Amino acid sequence: MKYYFEKKIKDIGFEEAIEKTIAALHEQGFGIITEIDIKSTMKKKLDVDFHNYKILGACSPEFAYKALQAEDKIGTLLPCNVIVQEKEANTVEVAAINPMASMQSVINMKILHVAEDVGHKLEKVINSL
Phi then psi for 8, rounded to 5 degrees?
-100, 135
Contacts of 88 (CB under 8 A, 6+ apart): none
* Pairwise CA distance, residues 91 & 101, whole Å: 27
Query: What's the confidence (pLDDT) of residue 90?
Result: 87
pTM value is 0.94
Low-confidence ranges of the chain (pLDDT < 70): none
61 cis-preceded (ω within 30 degrees of 0): no
4-128: CATH, from 3.30.310.70, 3.40.50.970, 1.10.579.10, 3.20.20.70: 3.30.310.70
* Pairwise CA distance, residues 63 & 83, whole Å: 20
Coil vs helix vs strand at 90: coil
